A and B are shown apart, each in its own frame.
Chain A
């Protein structure tokens, strides 16, 4: 049982939870995730560790309500508990000083991006963050990414905030303007697919973080498998981050619809 200490609504469907998990707080690194069960009889779902406080022994999760299990987690209040939280899982992000890094996140993908933005900045990179959403209300974590970003570009589909356009338009404007050494993209699979196609055109190394369907998160079931560079990989143990140019996004998009 892991107690929820704080809760904040980032938007109607996105909440931030600060959860008691001292051992995980201590051992986690940027890029890691946890598997959570909201209740007995609940499903095991993966959520990125957006932040951690080793002193308080807490981790921060940012959860978007997209269905049954994420909905149950979003409905929990401070004082209530998650039945299970296990982690940290996956490979930590490879952080290195490469020069200029464009970090682009869509929707709730900004949550897993935040620790990477921080770490990239702390490693001495110039960090340009591109946040994208359908509309103004869905832009999250803008205040949290600002201190670690040399520049923040906001893109909305409807132009209600920042620049009107897709995440790819924002990234391309940077590429056209200056030398970009690395692109990190996290968001819906379809968004990562198009960012990847764009950066492939410009031959810029690109890292993505995949959100496949999972069960155990420890390599036991194979539900999370994707094809990367023609080989089957398990996202939970080999990932979640991969070279985006090698990922078969169409297969991943198909597999995400397994239960729809």
Chain B
């Protein structure tokens, strides 16, 4: 068939030599012609497996066929039926593990339809053409609901509830709305503007955003009741950075990726006229193999690191990061030291890190996660000079809310326990979703949780 012989579209990218000098988005987006041609590849499968790979079951052939028909607006409408943040998910979903992994093209030994690129295209087109349709909202019902945290889970919940007629207030601890989308994921991968458009749209619909307000600290659970909130959606994320607990980890120049990325992305460190300081390394090591590690190491290159490396204890195949981030990092000159694990940091007389002691590893038997677990090779230890180390070995659930509301049931890992179908917690007026329920997960899962919680809370409150 004609369709299947078209090669998968290539995403236009900024030149690596140029892009490491700035923060501009690496992926430039598809042209309309390229998007229509790529959309033509989709065979509109009668039983589309791609949809089963999407955690929120987006009607993938539905939106893609609208692109093929050049009805880009209709494509965006299909996306918005299921996803509150298609411009974000089109950019940051691990498509190769989700929707695209199930595409029928794999059976033909061909590259899958570029679902993520097309999703981004439709959403960007909608944003840039200014034809952003104002969604229909139900008449105001006067019922107040509160959202704790303004990441993807909180934003999608807020959007769904405002459309259902609720009076919605989002409380955010930081001075910016957006959660990880703002303080974590860098501009070169997800421009703030993309997120701000969504936030402004919610504000225009009447969502009330309160920054600098920590639920559990500034306002208590009782305060929220006194203020008349009938339902509370906790979307406080997995903000707590983990360290490895190895000697020297508190030396100057060893920091969490949260600290590094927050200073740069949220606080503007390194830019003129911004007061927040940042340590700039010449030889930077980032420990870990996830998206956060890739974002940190690529940020380090942009901050002027001459050598930037990822140190990961398993092999490249086991890395949890999106495949595209690994590819982009390599193009940008990032070195990959896989099967290595730091065991100690050494420092100069002022306490500034200057050396990393790493243990070489090999892969052993598969562990509980199904991945082959790394085992140290006895005696194989090397020292590598470094002047900045960014520890990116995972995060734990933010304990602020569980600490403030002791009656809330939490798991041993510190996540809030919810009913999987309704996202309702052990306290009947508290629902929760996103990373505070799942531990570190993904944007699309957080967003999906927000939508499910909204549906369930609405059903309960309108009983």
Contact = CB atoms under 8 A, between A and B. Distances in A.
The reply to whether chain A is a binding partner of chain B is yes
A220 B241 contact: yes
A219 B240 contact: yes
A173 to B, nearest CB: 35
Interface stretch (A100-108, A156-164, A252-260): A252-260
Contact of A258 (B218, B219, B252, B258): B252
B175 A255 contact: no
A223 B255 contact: yes
B275 interface: yes
Question: Could you say which of B218, B239, B256 has the most chain A C-beta atoms within 10 Å of its C-beta?
Answer: B218
Contact of A43 (B214, B259, B267): B267
B212 A84 contact: yes
Contacts of A220: 239-241, 258, 262, 398
Nearest to A32: B217
A226 to B, nearest CB: 8
B259 A215 contact: yes
A27 B243 CA distance: 32
B293 to A, nearest CB: 16
Given A216-B174, A219-B399, A44 B214 contact: no
A221 B275 contact: no
Interface residues of B, number: 41
Nearest to B220: A27
A232 B245 CA distance: 8
B263 A259 contact: no
Contacts of A86: 173-175, 212-214, 218
A41 B268 contact: yes
A88 B263 CA distance: 22
A254 B262 CA distance: 22
B241 A69 contact: no
A230 to B, nearest CB: 11
A88 B239 contact: no
Nearest to A38: B275
Contacts of B398: 218-220
A257 B351 CA distance: 9
Given A216-B174, A218-B400, A237-B399, A255 B250 contact: yes
B243 to A, nearest CB: 6
Interface string B206-219: 00000111100111
A218 B214 CA distance: 9
Contacts of B279: 258-259
Contacts of A257: 252, 350-351
A216 B211 CA distance: 13
B391 to A, nearest CB: 8
Interface string A206-230: 0000000001101111110111000
Interface residues of A, number: 37
A87 interface: yes
Interface string B119-161: 0000000000000000000000000000000000000000000
Contacts of A222: 241, 243, 255-256, 258-259
Contacts of B175: 37, 44, 83-84, 86
A232 B253 CA distance: 16
Q: Give the most central of B173, B250, B253, B273: most A CB within 10 Å.
A: B250
B7 interface: no
Interface string A1-27: 000000000000000000000011001
Given A68-B275, A219-B400, A222-B259, A44 B351 contact: no
Contacts of B31: none
| B contact face: mostly helix, strand, loop, or mixed | loop
B196 to A, nearest CB: 15
Contacts of A23: 213, 218-219, 223
Nearest to B396: A219
A226 B267 CA distance: 23
A68 B273 CA distance: 12
Nearest to A231: B245
Interface in A238-260: 251, 254-255, 257-259
B417 to A, nearest CB: 21
Contacts of B351: 251, 254-255, 257
A84 B174 CA distance: 9
A143 to B, nearest CB: 31
A194 to B, nearest CB: 20
A87 B249 CA distance: 29
Nearest to B241: A222
A248 B332 CA distance: 40
Interface in A94-116: none
B412 interface: no
B413 interface: no
A18 B67 CA distance: 58
Contact of A227 (B241, B250, B252): B250
Contacts of A68: 275
Kindly name the residue among A88, A218, A220, A232 whose own CB sees the greatest number of chain B CB atoms within 10 A.
Answer: A220
A223 B212 contact: no
Given A41-B275, A255-B250, A221 B214 contact: no
A230 B351 CA distance: 18
Contact of A221 (B220, B259, B400): B259
A131 interface: no
A78 interface: no
B297 to A, nearest CB: 18
Contacts of B385: none
B274 interface: yes
A184 interface: no
Q: Which of B214, B253, B262 has the most chain A CB atoms closer than 10 A to its own CB?
A: B214
Given A221-B262, A225-B243, 18 more contacts: A27-B220, A42-B275, A44-B276, A85-B212, A88-B218, A89-B217, A215-B259, A216-B262, A218-B173, A219-B239, A219-B398, A220-B258, A221-B255, A222-B241, A222-B259, A227-B250, A254-B251, A257-B350
Interface of B: 173-175, 211-214, 217-220, 223, 239-241, 243, 245, 249-253, 255-256, 258-259, 262-263, 267-268, 273-277, 279, 350-351, 398-400
Give me the 10 closest cross-chain CB pairs, A-B, nearest first: A221-B259, A254-B351, A86-B212, A43-B275, A220-B239, A222-B256, A259-B277, A84-B175, A43-B276, A41-B274
